[in-house]
Structure 1
Amino acid sequence: MKIMIIGASRGLGRALFEGLAEPGNTMIGVSRSLPRDLKLPRGAYQQWICADFSSPRTAVQHIEAESPDTLDTLICNIGIWEKTAFSDSYAFLQQTDDETISLVDVNITSILLLLKRLIPKLLSSNSAKPQILLTGSTSGLRQSGRPEMAFGASKTALNGIADALRENFREEQLAVTSLQLGYLNTDDDLSVPRDTAAHNGNGELIPVHDVVNLVKTLLTLSEASFVRELVLPAIKDPRF
């Protein structure tokens, strides 16, 4: 299986890159810089493409040129947020125009341009059900209880992108899954035991292990089904 992960150098993206790298799989990672000390099993192949989504057009042109002719799975793990997001100091009216425009370019524009260039590679796959996984957020759900305007709007837009993709490519059996994730414990990588990572999050942070395990399940479903949307909040998240 050829799996491309956008934003694969750290945090959740890195966990997915390492966790899905099974023998025989080819992992294509996209990030601004190459990560160090990756832990991949013997027989798993890797390729890295350096791209900076602050310049969406340049980034996607480079990815298109450097990526394989075919892909089986694309995981879009793209997302930046306001500098003061998720803190008491966040205030929408204090956000600069440049910051808002940059966030929209990375979180929305780059994904649209990327999908336009990579969907043909997915449809050329020998897989009976090529897949796209879009990393969303519980901040993009209705009544999320979060005030971050640009970030929340961009993750809500991702839901619309997913719905439109399904309609555009339903006959081609393109499976599109939205991952609506709550707050993650990205300090503890896969080398930390899952139960330890869960304990460190004190019920308020989700270990990346849980997301990796769920994505593994998604990739093993038969061609007859797919998961449309997966909502994964922390157990103590008062919004859910």
Structure 2
Amino acid sequence: MTTSFNGMNGVGGASSRTVLITGASKGLGRALALELAKRGHTVIGCSRTQDKLSSLQSELSSPENHLFLNADVKSNSSIEELARAVMEKKGVPDIIVNNAGTINRNNKIWEVPEEEFDTVIDTNVKGVANMLRHFIPLMITRKQGIIVNMSSGWGRSGAALVAPYCASKWAVEGLTRSVAKEVPDGIAVVALNPGVINTDMLASCFGNSAALYQAPEAWALKAATMILNLTAADNGASLTV
């Protein structure tokens, strides 16, 4: 199921949610963190860049209510430690947004260095798997939870010069649909295509024309509403903001 979402109604209910966002220090993750905090929700953010995390936390409403931790999604042990720290300090998140991602430099596949290909796959695919491995059991214990795996239009189509990225996002789509069949009632795992947004990743592909597309802050207004309104009934969906 592929569904588009353009609604702006509600904030997913009156109660405050705790939302964990990977790759929260820049781009879509940062914009989403700011928007959710502005709406009164608790943000848990992780990134490999501590100074950017600290800068983000200082910009949030009631910064003391939020939690920002240095973590590398590529590392299973780092995410294992992240899960432990989150449980100790905030408990099981209501929502997890697996946003951390990277893209290869524009190149034909036979010209993409091995290390660059591995970084894309390790971040975009293994990074999501590491988060699922350590957080789904916590959600199962709680008998509820929403997991949003950030995909891409290129996870549902192909494009020249970004084959590693396309492959990784196709993998996210397949991983999401499969895991959705494994989780018990009360939990939803969905794939979300954010659309074309003016981020550093888009600029690496599109160059200056990336500026023609919407800013992360405008995207976050719609995405926050959509994510907060997800329920267990959405399990297995492929969504588009």
Q: How high is the TM-score relative to the length of structure 2? A: 0.76
Give 1:62's aligned residue: 81
Give 2:70's aligned residue: 50
Give 2:238's match in structure 1, choosing from 205, 219, 229.
229
Structure 2: distance between partners of 1:145 and 1:57: 30
Structure 2: distance between partners of 1:24 and 1:180: 25
Residue 157 of structure 1 pairs with residue 171 of structure 2: yes
Are the equivalent residues in 1 in contact too, given 2:24–2:100 (CA < 8 A)? Answer: no
The number of equivalent residue pairs is: 208
Structure 1: distance between partners of 2:81 and 2:175: 22
| Distance change >3 Å, CA 212–CA 52, structure 1 → 2 | same
Corresponding letter in the other structure for 2:164: A
Residue 3 of structure 1 pairs with residue 19 of structure 2: yes
| Distance change >3 Å, CA 12–CA 117, structure 1 → 2 | same
Are the equivalent residues in 2 in contact too, given 1:123–1:172 (CA < 8 A)? Answer: no
Corresponding letter in the other structure for 1:162: T
Q: How does 1:47-196 map to 2 (within 5 A)?
A: 47-54=67-74, 56-68=75-87, 69-82=91-104, 84-85=105-106, 90-125=107-142, 129-142=144-157, 144-169=158-183, 171-186=184-199
Task: Pick which of 150-159 and 105-114 moved more.
Answer: 105-114
Task: Pick which of 7-16 and 65-74 moved more.
Answer: 65-74
| Distance change >3 Å, CA 50–CA 166, structure 1 → 2 | same
Q: What are the ranges of 5 or more consecutive residues in structure 2 without an aligned counterpart?
A: 1-16, 201-209
Structure 2: distance between partners of 1:15 and 1:71: 19
Are the equivalent residues in 1 in contact too, given 2:32–2:223 (CA < 8 A)? Answer: no
Are the equivalent residues in 2 in contact too, given 1:70–1:121 (CA < 8 A)? Answer: yes
Are the equivalent residues in 1 in contact too, given 2:197–2:219 (CA < 8 A)? Answer: no
Deviation at 1:227, TM superposition (A): 8.2
Higher helix share: 2
Residue 41 of structure 1 pairs with residue 61 of structure 2: yes
Give 1:25's aligned residue: 41
CA-to-partner distance for each residue in 1:111-136, whole Å, 9 max, x for gaps? 1122110112223447xx52111111
| Distance change >3 Å, CA 223–CA 44, structure 1 → 2 | farther
Corresponding letter in the other structure for 1:66: A
Give 2:206's aligned residue: none
Q: How high is the TM-score relative to the length of structure 1? A: 0.76
Deviation at 1:177, TM superposition (A): 2.1
| Distance change >3 Å, CA 224–CA 44, structure 1 → 2 | farther
Q: Which has the higher contact order (CA 8 A, sep 6+)?
A: 2
Give 1:235's aligned residue: none
Structure 1: distance between partners of 2:236 and 2:62: 30
Q: What are the ranges of 5 or more consecutive residues in structure 1 without an aligned counterpart?
A: 188-199, 233-240
Residue 216 of structure 1 pairs with residue 233 of structure 2: no
Deviation at 1:18, TM superposition (A): 0.8
